[in-house]
Amino acid sequence: MTEVPIQWIANTHALENPKSRLAAELFPQGLPQKVRRLHSSIPGYRMSPLKSLPNLARRIGVGGIWVKDESARLSLNSFKVLGGAYAIYRKLLERGGYEPDELTLKDLLQLDGEHREKLGHPVFATATDGNHGTGVAWAANKMGFPAIIYVHSLTTKDRIRGIERQGGHVVVVDGNYDDAVRQATKDAEKNGWEIISDTSWEGYEEVPRWIMQGYATMFVEAQEQFSGQGLSRPTHLLVQAGVGSLAAAAIGFYSVLFEDNVPLSMVVEPTKAACLFESMRIGDGKPHSVTGELDTIMAGLACGDPNPLAWETLYNCADFFAKCPDYVAAKGMRVYSTPLPGDPFIVSGESGAVTLGALMYTMEYDGAGDLREAMGLNEESQVLLINSEGNTSPEEFRSVVWEGSIPVPEEFKIRSRVEE
């Protein structure tokens, strides 16, 4: 039986508790702006574009579709470097006994002998499906330190080569992403390495918190860009999730910034790796893992163990949780790459495109009428999406976009209700 395009759950707990204590702790007043200033000191930094798709918005029946396009961030094709670089920055300050404002990221990229002696000889390690490891390798390499990056056995050769191009030493682990996390952590503890993980566990929360804080740069930029368009904020936010760090950062940021008028949010996961959706479905307020091969084209979202730190924010702040099969992400990739006349072209990888596919099915699929109504999506809605990655795996990208692999099943093909 063919999977339906979208399954969803409303988070009634969030509707009763609109602001998370952890969100306020994650983004205290002034911190997001400070993080953005630090990132802006990196040579080559520039704001990623906020792209408008007005014609697609009209076609599906919303007021605006706004895409924060991270496909070319620091030439690494992903937003992940924002979190990895900021976490390494904070870890090095801690190692050297520096105050938070004593050194900038730019200073750490140009280390002299005195500072380098104080910092010692750290080795950074992490597990990844590709993008996070690439960002950690890039940041460590730029600062003159080694990075050991653990990947699972299904990681594509393109993603492995991308990590190696940034100076990372790659270790391949049998199993899935969660197995790679466990092996990286075990080896780091054994060898005295600094683990830079974007998921948390008992006794390990500081670094994942720094990573989520590093992502704030995207949303500070987006708010400046919205202001330039005469808008104060998006009305709706759809964010993809693996362990949940990006989703918690996005939803947490907007929950704190617009405490009395928070944009309505939906977390979107792959059907075969929907650990946050399942945690919400179980309904006891705790994070729960899903098991299996986590076999999805959305490699960056193929995570079975939620980030407990992120879960707390999402449980208190995210309004809806959804899961979608691979063909929804593939459709999003093709729509981004073949835009309607007048809309911009966007290069989006599998994990970056699933929220566009989810939005289109929410608006156009007859079976999503209840979700559409519950979210209040209509001609006045201004929807923010995050294109979290560009073409990070060219072979798979071409297979989907050029060759048409993972097509939409016949029964779920949509004909527009709007005349061309």
Residue 284 falls in the annotated catalytic set: no
CA distance 151 to 127: 6
**Which two three-digit tokens encode residue 317?**
């702040």
CA distance 122 to 391: 31
**Which two three-digit tokens encode residue 169?**
């030493």
3-state secondary structure of 268: strand
CA distance 190 to 194: 11
Q: Annotated catalytic residue: which of 69, 129, 319, 326?
A: 129
CA distance 181 to 351: 19
Residues 6+ apart with CB under 8 A from 31: 213, 216
Query: Which H or E run includes 322?
Result: strand 320-324
Residue 106 falls in the annotated catalytic set: no
Q: Is the dihedral of CA 203, 91, 80, 123 positive or negative?
A: negative
3-state secondary structure of 56: helix
Cβ–Cβ < 8 Å for 127, 151: yes
Strands (E), 18-142: 50-52, 64-69, 124-128
Closest CA to 6 of 251, 417, 372: 372
The gap from C-alpha 237 to its chain's centroid, in whole angstroms, comes to: 13
Cβ–Cβ < 8 Å for 20, 316: yes
- Give the count of beta carbons closer than 10 Å to the beta carbon of residue 98: 17
First-to-last CA distance in the chain?
Answer: 33
**Which two three-digit tokens encode residue 416?**
């527009």
What residue has token string 């690439």? 134
What's the farthest any 2 CA atoms get from each other in the chain?
Answer: 67
Q: Annotated catalytic residue: which of 51, 68, 69, 80?
A: 80
* Residues with a known catalytic role: 80, 129
